[in-house]
Structure 1
Amino acid sequence: MTMPLSQRIVFWTVVCCVLAILSIPTVVVVGASFTAGNIIAFPPEGLSLKWYSRIAGAGDLWRAFGRSLYVAAVCTALAIPVGTLAGIALAKYRLRFETPFQIYLLLPFTIPLIGSGIGLMLLFGEMRILGQLWPVGVACTVINLPFMIWAVMASASGLEPDLELAAANCGAPPLSTFFHVTLPAVVPGIISGSLLMFILALNEFLVSLLLVDARIVTLPVQIYNSIRSIITPDLAAISVIFIASAVAAVILLDRLVGLEIFLKSK
């Protein structure tokens, strides 16, 4: 059914406005990172790659980036087994506490992140692990785990029950059925959920700010500490690298499993 001309005009006007609002901050940051001046500005004062050259030799930024990668790796490693098993269970079985668990999955969207961060800070303080780096990965897993579970649920819900029944009728034990039938069917959800967990942990700021000290800050906290004094173009350059990493992850996700798998998890 074709929309009338007036509706098409309104529709595409709204679409263009939304795209512009979403794109303008990225365009400004990218443009400011190429400025030849010494002050961050848009439009840039000439074009230069000197700020990218400067961050290439900034040891503190690269060390902070390595810590962020470590946190993201810990988060992803924990989220894969926990999120996979929980997602399969919620998609395939009727659980006694399914409703409370579904409510828990909504908590990241209802509880302010500062509240979760303070709670984890107090908990880790009592456990005497506050200030170490690996608990930040655990905290990112706790906060973002619903995304992993939803991604796996989207794949598990499309699994034909007859396949598992056929494997059982052929004499396969439950563990073999899980590893050879169920698990391969949910691999697309595992991949998409893992990439999302990695990106979210890599960019996590507030929880990292509360759980680490000044000696082992992650890259988002390092950037925050820098802009408290002055915002220089090298911060725009490192932001562009973050944006490029996110775009690369989306492209990788599309190549591996297709974006429709990830979108179905929503």
Structure 2
Amino acid sequence: MNNPLSKTFVLWSFVMIALFMLSAPTVVVLGASFTSGNIITFPPDGLSLKWYAAILQATDLRDAFLRSLYVSAVCTIVSIPVGTLAGIALAKYAVRFEKAVQVYLLLPFTIPLIGSGIGLMLVFGNAGVLGQLWPVGVACSVINLPFMIWAVTASASSLDPDLELAAANCGAGPVQTFLSVTLPAVTPGIITGSLLMFILALNEFLVSLLLVDARIVTLPVQIYNSIRSIITPDLAAISVVFIACAAAAIFLLDRLVGLDIFLKSK
């Protein structure tokens, strides 16, 4: 076992097993979405694109997908200014109650999502806005905001303070220094966090289930309501659309920022 070749074999065996376990559900859903039959089967019962045509004609799925895009847009719009300013502040300044903020950043991993969802449901219910779509976007932003803050903080931590001092020495005011030096420096973190927030909100199920009613459900809730009766291949097709959206976000992230910078921000 001390042989380097044996160690390499064992390591790659674990890697291949992990890759297989991670990719197997995606491969199964992808294959099932192309079936020509009327039930989900894998391997597919023939190949056909009819279920992709079916989801284009299904107004309930299309409308639910558009609602999910709206929720993701609200979440991203709210998260960008809040997460950017918070991330820069944590990276550059001695913030009061910094320990409390650090604890907050761990909440997505420590508090069950059902607890956060019920709390937000009570807050929005008392405000009289429960059942609308925009509170779902705000709720997704509140729950997932630490991811945005982490991404911006990672970029802000690598900013050379001398650049801001140089801008100030050249006569730039605080706002101009922020816009011309600080903001461009943290742009990779902003892009990374924004794309991450968009995808997280697009896939959010539990919070959407608690905050919307049957008239304005998002796509994850619509899929859940559908599979309670029967699982049809059109649900596999819409799942592939979700996967394609995530893949497009990763591709865009790689083109705009670079996956190496994204992974370092984690």
Q: TM-score range by the shorter chain?
A: over 0.9
Partners of 1:49 and 1:206 lie apart in 2 by 31
| 1:174-253 mapped onto 2 (5 Å cutoff) | 174-253=174-253
TM-score with structure 1 setting the length: 0.98
Is the Cα contact below 8 Å between 1:154 and 1:261 reproduced in 2? no
Listed one character per residue, the Cα deviations across residues 59-98 of structure 1 (whole Å, up to 9, x for unaligned) are 1111111100110000000000000000000011111211
Partners of 2:265 and 2:105 lie apart in 1 by 13
Q: In structure 2, what is the equivalent of residue 31 of structure 1?
A: 31
Q: Name the amino acid aligned to 1:147.
A: F
Listed one character per residue, the Cα deviations across residues 168-207 of structure 1 (whole Å, up to 9, x for unaligned) are 1111111111111000100111011000000100111000
Show structure 1 runs of 4+ deviating over 2 A: none
Listed one character per residue, the Cα deviations across residues 204-240 of structure 1 (whole Å, up to 9, x for unaligned) are 1000000000000001100000000000000000000
Identity across aligned pairs (percent)? 78
- Alpha-carbon shift at residue 56 of structure 1 (Å): 1.1
The DSSP-based 3-state class of the residue aligned with 2:171 is coil
Q: In structure 2, what is the equivalent of residue 99 of structure 1?
A: 99
Is the Cα contact below 8 Å between 1:121 and 1:130 reproduced in 2? yes
Q: In structure 2, what is the equivalent of residue 81 of structure 1?
A: 81
Q: Name the amino acid aligned to 2:26.
A: T
Is the Cα contact below 8 Å between 1:151 and 1:261 reproduced in 2? no
Partners of 1:265 and 1:207 lie apart in 2 by 27
Tell me the number of residue pairs that the alignment of Structure 1 and Structure 2 aligns: 264
Q: Name the amino acid aligned to 1:53.
A: A
Partners of 1:46 and 1:170 lie apart in 2 by 69
Q: Which structure 2 segments of 5+ residues have no match?
A: none
- Alpha-carbon shift at residue 261 of structure 1 (Å): 2.0
Is the Cα contact below 8 Å between 1:32 and 1:40 reproduced in 2? yes
TM-score with structure 2 setting the length: 0.98
Partners of 1:142 and 1:264 lie apart in 2 by 24
Partners of 2:251 and 2:153 lie apart in 1 by 22
Partners of 1:202 and 1:70 lie apart in 2 by 9
Partners of 1:28 and 1:94 lie apart in 2 by 50
Q: In structure 2, what is the equivalent of residue 22 of structure 1?
A: 22
Q: Name the amino acid aligned to 1:7.
A: K
| 1:163-182 mapped onto 2 (5 Å cutoff) | 163-182=163-182
What do you get for the CA RMSD once the two structures are aligned?
0.8
Partners of 2:10 and 2:152 lie apart in 1 by 37
